[in-house]
Structures are given as C-alpha cells and as structure tokens.
Amino acid sequence: MTEYTEIHRPQFHFTSKRKWINDPNGLVYFNGVWHLFFQHNIEANTWGPMWWGHAVSSDLLHWEQKDHALHPDKMGSMFSGSAVVDHNNTSGLGENAIILFYTAANRDDSEASYTQCMAYSLDNGVSWEKYANNPVVKTMVGEDRDPRVVWHAKTQQWIMALYLTEDKFCLLRSQDAKSWEKFQDIQLTSDCECPDFFSLSDNNGNEKWIFSGANGTYTVGSFDGELFTEESSNNLFEYGRNGYASQTWSNTDNDRRIQISWMAGGRYPEMPFNQQLSFPLELTLKNINGKPIIHRWPIDEIRSLYLKTINMAECEVSKGKSFIPKTSAKLFDISFIVDKASSKSLYLMIRGHYLSFDWENNEFSMQSSGEHKIVEDRKTIGLPKGKEISVRLLVDKTSIEIFIDNGLLSGSFCFLPDGYINPIVFLSYSGTQYIRNFTLHELKTIWSD
C-alpha cells in the first residue's frame, strides 16, 4: 500500500485519501459494518463545496474509503447530518432502509436557504438515492442545519435535534421520517451547530438523555417523547483546543455509545489531504457528587494495535532527574499515575512539544505552535485537586488526546512534531514527584494491508 504513508499522515486516526474533510456525519452501525460519513470537499485542500464522503469498518479502527454518498445538487451543498436504520419501515422506503438526514445549503443567491433532506439505501449502504420529495423540513430560521435524528422506542416516533441560530436549537418529531413537527426549543449557552441527542444509562442504571453542541457543551435530562427536561447545568466533555462537531453512532450493539469528532485546526503542510478525525471514544455517565458527568475513554479495540509494551512500577522525577522511557516510537498509548509530592509542576516533552501539568494552579496545557484556531482556543484544562491523578495519552503523528482520572476530563490537541532526541521525556524543575504504574504501548498503523 503506497497511500497513507506520508510524513504527516495520522496512522491510527481517520483521514481521507485526498482533500479536505471536517465534521463526521451519518454515523450508523448495521449488519456488522460501521459506517462513517464526513464533510468532504473533493475539489481542494480547503473548506468549500461539500460532499458526503463515506468509509466503512468492521472494527472502528481499519477504514476503507468508498465512493462519495452525497453530491451537491440544485438545492445546495451537502452539509452535516445523521443516519438511522428504519427497521420498521415507518418511512415506506423499504425494510431496513438506511436513511441519511442532511442539510442542503443553498448559499449562492439572495434567496439563500437551508433545508433538511433525506437520502436512503436499500443495499446496506452501497448506493444512495435522494428522496424525491425533498426537503422534509423547510427553512425555519435562515441557516438552520445539522439534523440529528434518533428513534424514540417508547413513543414509537422519530426525533430530530436541529440547530437554529446563535445558541438556539429545537426538537422535531415524525411518525414516518418524512413529515416533521417542531415541538420544543432548546438553548445551549455558548455553543452552536452539530447537535447530538442520545440516551445513556448512568452508573445507577437510570436512563438519561444528553443534548450536546459542537463545542462539547452538554446538558443531561429526561425525555418522554413529549418534552426534554434538563436536570443538570451545562458541562463540557471536550476541553481540548481542537475537538469539535462530535457525533455518536446509532443502532449500536450492546448499547455502546461511541463518539468521534473532527480535530479542527490541525496543520498538515504539503500533504495531499487536510484534517483528521479523533480516535473513537466510548461514553459513560457517572454521578460525581450528585452531578451526572460524561466520561470518555478510547474504545477497547485499540488493544489490537498494541506492539511492544514498556512497564515501570515507579520512578522519581525531580530537578535534574528526568524519566525517559526507552522507545523510539512515534505512535503510542501511555498511561500513568502522578504522585505530586512536593513538586509544583510536571512537564512532558512529546516529540518536541511541551505538555504542562501545573499543580500550583491545577491546570493542564499544551504548547501552542501557531495552529490556526478554528474553534475557541481552550488552552488549559482545570485539573482535579488531590495528591494523585491518573493520565492517559494517545499520541499519533500529528495529534495528542488526553484522558484524566479515567476520562473525567479529556481533550484533543493537534500539533506538528518539532526537533527531539527522545519521543517522551518527563521533566520537573522544582521539587520531587513520582510516576507510578507507567505503561507504554507502541502502536501499529491502521493502514497496513
């Protein structure tokens, strides 16, 4: 295989063969296949007219890019959306039809319109047909977009979460996936675009519903098919500089809730592709001091990529005494526990980039190297207080994803490697601290034959 071997090509994160990608779309699992659609400009390495790219996988790791599923038409460019399996043929399109819901964005004239449309497949996602009577939802506000559709089993109806304008969203419902009625407005302060709406049981077995936006803001509540009732204040599941437009797969086995995001703003100079998606994460909902909090954790399937493993029970990091794991790998999954002891800070240099754990101010930050900021620049993560914290890092060619205290806090960061001798170095400039239960797994590429 000659593709996917370029110097800045991510090796265990999804990228397209060529050209620009952004939001993940239409995430659905059916008949043993994970479908991943994505915003794709097939004409250039920059944002522009949008197609829906399409890739499939049997394990959420190894992806095969297929023909484009949706092409721009007279109604507009193909903006973001979602996918479902119509098991009960409520739409009349056919038994087990896979239905894509997308925004047709007409921006070319003074009568610009954004409408919500459908396309469907009757051959397990091999070919796609746009619904003849599109749109199914006409323009409501002006640039309303990004339909996220789910099946509400208790009331036997389809529910659509839709972005409207500013920080305003709404819910619509339908019996047949074709005729839609708006029934609730929702405000998600300081967020916009790309809603996700899904159920998740907490650690006490109670079903909750989560409503989220593109920046990773979410609220937890209950939903009876008639009203989404918020039961928590807004929170964040994405604290990184580059995580944006997350979506979760529908129709999954064993009620797994798997999420993937666009890692917005990464740089890939002189590459035939542009932008990457995050590593797939499994979501859980846990009550922390009476508050429901989403935890995110890399899917267990990553274990199949493990090569050489390095373990160390404990080591000291202090001024003049660094810890340098014996590896030359560029791809790795590392985890460890930090005993802060008397130190004021811990620094990790990963492939020439500093990651800072500031214990005095309880903040994590990653050195910025001038990446173009498409999303709000959240440079720091507020760290949990206490003597110890656990850390996990996924490191690819051009990205680092961090998970703190078993996924209580997490974030996505893009970078370009700088000069270095050792790919990982633990440093301290004041006091002493201890690294416990250190494990490093070198990873193999997902693009091998």
pLDDT 10s digits, 158-193: 999 999 999 999 999 999 999 999 999 999 999 999
Report the largest interatomic distance among the alpha carbons of the chain, rounded to a whole angstrom: 70
**pLDDT above 90: residue 109:** no
pLDDT interval class at 111 (50, 70, 90): low
Within 10 angstroms of residue 243's Cβ, the number of other Cβ atoms is: 28
In this predicted structure, what is the pLDDT of residue 379?
55
Assigned CATH for 302-443: 2.60.120.560
CATH of 19-298, one of 3.40.50.800, 3.30.1380.20, 1.10.357.10, 2.115.10.20: 2.115.10.20
In this predicted structure, what is the pLDDT of residue 35?
98
Distance CA 332, CA 338 (A): 19
Locate 414 and state its tokens: 């893009």
> Strand 273-274 and strand 19-30: pairing?
parallel
In this predicted structure, what is the pLDDT of residue 366?
86
Query: Using CA of residue 300, residue 439, residue 346, residue 268, what is the dihedral sign?
Result: negative
pLDDT interval class at 2 (50, 70, 90): low
> In the predicted model, what is the mean pLDDT of residues 290-295?
94
The per-residue pLDDT for range 344-382, each reduced to its tens digit, is 999 999 999 889 999 999 999 987 544 433 333 445 788
Domain ranges of the chain: 19-298, 302-443
Catalytic site positions: 23
Burial class (CB in 10 A: 0-12, 13-18, 19+), 44: exposed
- What is the reported pTM? 0.95
